[in-house]
Amino acid sequence: MVSPIDITPPATSHGDSDSTCESGYASATSDNGGFAEIYFTRPHLKYLNKQLSQLEPQDILKWCLISLPGLFQTTAFGLTGLVTIDMLSKIAIDNKSLPPLIFLDTLHHFPETLALVDRVTAKYPQPLHVYKPAGCETAADFTAQHGERFWDVDDERYDWVAKVEPAERAYAELGVKAVLTGRRRSQGGKRGDLDVLEITEAGLIKVNPLANWTFAQVQAYVREHDVPYNELLDRGYKSIGDWHSTQPIREGEDERAGRWRGKDKTECGIHNKRSRYAQFLMEQERLREREELQGRGERVEVKA
């Protein structure tokens, strides 16, 4: 990563006796001195992860609230995300300091999930931002635009359209710099070696405050604190996503074994490195920009 904060001290003369003269170091209210955006170096990130991994989730969340500007919580209202919401409601100084929620409505959630969203927003004060696939308000809109069973036709493009693009749009429009997620190591798959603190290729900070907790610990917290949860959990589901790619799990299976059953897939794209389709779209955008610039050059030559 690039270097941490770069502070340029203001130029002052030694003979300046003005009582309002600054100390020579830039501060948050300083008129002089330039702040670069804050980044984590690799050694700093490693150090923070070592320290944070020894803390309880509530203490990790307290650290986030005082350390990370532009903090939001992305959630599909799974059990871990719900525990995070409840913890935040108990430790935040006031409602204004609560990280807003971002919910990606793929238009293919279970009815039970959508009913849970209403129960959660009625109980907790965190503001909720809902993002849907571009140009779609209903499942019928989605089918009309992308065709029947798009998730079976091209699952990578489906993930991009239904989840990744809406997430990136949310981050850009809301000014998101850091997000809280509900991922845990005990969920298995690619999450088995999960760190508490991560930085994406795009520079987004991801915090997994319950990374060290097991499903049993999460479930115990939910029961103890009367946290609302998805009714599907009482029917054998443990990880719940879209209705077309989620099934109950069998005894002894990983929590996410019911997601995309039968496919070599454990993540939807939001928590993966850029998918092949995302890379293709980026290349297409670069090509379009080049063609546009070339077209402008041709028109200038004609006018000349």
Q: Check whether 252 has a pLDDT greater than 90.
A: no
User: Which residues are known catalytic residues?
Assistant: 268
Same-domain pairing of 147 and 188: yes
Residue 248: per-residue pLDDT:
85
Same domain flag for 126 and 239:
yes
Average pLDDT over residues 147-156: 92
Q: Determine the residue type at 158.
A: Y
Query: 60 and 182, same structural domain?
Result: yes
Residues 107 and 183 in one domain: yes
Please tell me whether residues 257 and 188 are part of one structural domain.
yes
pLDDT bracket for residue 188 (50, 70, 90): low
Q: Are 282 and 264 part of one and the same domain?
A: no
- C-alpha torsion sign, points 159, 271, 257, 119: negative
- Same domain assignment for residues 72 and 154: yes
Domain housing 249 = 42-273
**Are 183 and 81 members of one domain?**
yes
| Chain segment 267-282, per-residue pLDDT in tens | 555 544 554 555 555 5
What pLDDT does residue 253 have?
74
Q: Domain check: are 131 and 265 in the same one?
A: yes
Is residue 228 within 8 Å of 222, Cβ to Cβ?
A: no
Please tell me the least confidently modeled range out of 152-161, 189-198, 236-245.
189-198
Higher-confidence residue of 31 and 117: namely 117
pLDDT at position 278, please?
53
Q: Say whether pLDDT at 4 is over 60.
A: no
Task: With a cut of 80, say whether residue 14 has pLDDT above it.
Answer: no
Residue 263 predicted with pLDDT over 80? no
246 and 288 both lie in a single domain = no
CATH number at residue 213: 3.40.50.620
Q: Are residues 63 and 163 in the same domain?
A: yes
Closest CA to 198 of 18, 4, 15, 49: 49
120 versus 42: the higher-pLDDT residue is 120
Of the candidates 187, 155, 168, which has an alpha carbon nearest to the alpha carbon of residue 265? 155
Q: How many domains does the chain have?
A: 3
Band of the pLDDT at 9, cuts 50, 70, 90? very low
Compute the half-sphere exposure of residue 66: CA atoms within 13 Å on the CB side of its CA: 7
